[in-house]
Amino acid sequence: MKRILVTGALGQIGSELIVKLRKEYGAEAVIASDIRSVDNEVVHGGPFEILDVTNANQMAAVAQKYNVDTMMHMAALLSARAESNPQLAWNLNMGGLVNALEVAREQKLQFFTPSSIGSFGPDTPKEATPQDTLQRPTTMYGINKVAGELLCDYYHSRFGVDTRGVRFPGLISYVTPPGGGTTDYAVEIYYEALRTGRYTSFIDKGTYMDMMYMPDALQAIVDLMEADPSRLKHRNAFNVTAMSFDPEQIAAEIRKHIPAFELNYQVDPVRQAIAESWPNSIDATAAMREWGFKTTHDLSSMTEDMLQKLRTTIMS
């Protein structure tokens, strides 16, 4: 990777990925792009372009302008937002991906895009969900993700594009809050624990989902993109995970730092149904074997770090 175009650079993953990539490869080597602009490090810390991923010509022109050799396509609607506007989700998630893959094919770029645990469905084995298994998702987001995984495989086998990707679990970070996801409760809970000492969860107790701390997720992207291609049997959609918990377990961990923390429930039927259609825990051994995937944070160390970092942010 020498010159990398990142779409959706102001989103939850993009905004931290840009900072990490600029540290690793140099500020000028990372071109951040998003449909909007804001006053922050992503926009001012290196090249930035306004880019609507549904506009194929605009995307091709930006890639060409900077002579990029890598595209990281992050722009997408998350699960709950996709469910509230399925037509928009199809247009943005699929339209954007097809445009990005076409630019990668035409300009011979290495390509990364994330899939998700949302690509699994209620018929998928729930525990230690295997890398290769039944995928019949019941949400628009999941349908987009499965189609995206297959499309990335297709662009590799049919056109030789160096496509790579992972199935991310819920990502937890103290920098940019997620928006419109089903796993967002596991981020909100930390903010509310510090601000008010209580949280009302829209996901029910006993609902387990895979999660990962953002620094591990970013490292996974870099490691996969740097991996020796001859070792990659799967290429796209590697299961990756660091932990699996339900709201009670994260609350118990928070109480080790804020003993009076209170957790209540007001379950949102839409997001609860999405969560119940996803695995409880996935198996990441293919990623470990094929490109050395590893994580450094579990629930306990993530909670300690989140609370410490957020305390500084909230206080300032």
- The residues carrying an active-site annotation are 141
Interface residue with ligand AKB among 116, 129, 280, 295 (CB under 6 A) is 116
Q: Which one, 1 or 275, has the nearer CB to ligand AKB?
A: 275
Q: How far is the CB of 101 from ligand AKB (least distance, A)?
A: 20
Q: How far is the CB of 78 from ligand AKB (least distance, A)?
A: 4
- What's the token pair of residue 6? 């990142």
Interface residue with ligand AKB among 7, 113, 173, 182 (CB under 6 A) is 182
Interface residue with ligand AKB among 33, 79, 241, 281 (CB under 6 A) is 79
The single residue listed with the structure tokens 């290769």 is 132
The single residue listed with the structure tokens 């959706």 is 8
Q: Is 181 in the site for ligand AKB (CB under 6 A)?
A: yes
Q: Is 183 in the site for ligand AKB (CB under 6 A)?
A: yes
- Pairing, β 170-172 against β 262-265: unpaired
Residue nearest ligand AKB (C-beta atom): 181
- What's the token pair of residue 222? 């870099």
Q: Is 239 in the site for ligand AKB (CB under 6 A)?
A: no
**Rg of the chain's alpha carbons, rounded to an integer?**
19
- Pairing, β 209-213 against β 243-245: antiparallel
Buried b (16+ CB within 10 A) or exposed e, 212-250: bbbbbbbebbbebbebeeeebebbbbbbbbbbbbbbeeb
Q: How far is the CB of 278 from ligand AKB (least distance, A)?
A: 7
Q: Is 170 in the site for ligand AKB (CB under 6 A)?
A: yes
* Contact in structure between 138 and 277 (CB atoms under 8 Å): yes
Q: Which one, 46 or 142, has the nearer CB to ligand AKB?
A: 142
Q: Is 118 in the site for ligand AKB (CB under 6 A)?
A: yes
Residue ranges in 46-180 assigned as alpha helix (H): 56-65, 79-84, 86-89, 96-107, 140-159
Identify residues 44-63 at the interface with ligand AKB (CB under 6 A).
none
Query: Based on the number of CB atoms within 10 Å of its own CB, is 70 exposed (0-12), middle (13-18) or buried (19 or more)?
Result: buried
Q: Is 165 in the site for ligand AKB (CB under 6 A)?
A: no
Q: How far is the CB of 247 from ligand AKB (least distance, A)?
A: 14
Q: Is 117 in the site for ligand AKB (CB under 6 A)?
A: yes
Report the interface residues with ligand AKB, using CB under 6 A.
78-79, 116-118, 168-170, 178, 181-183
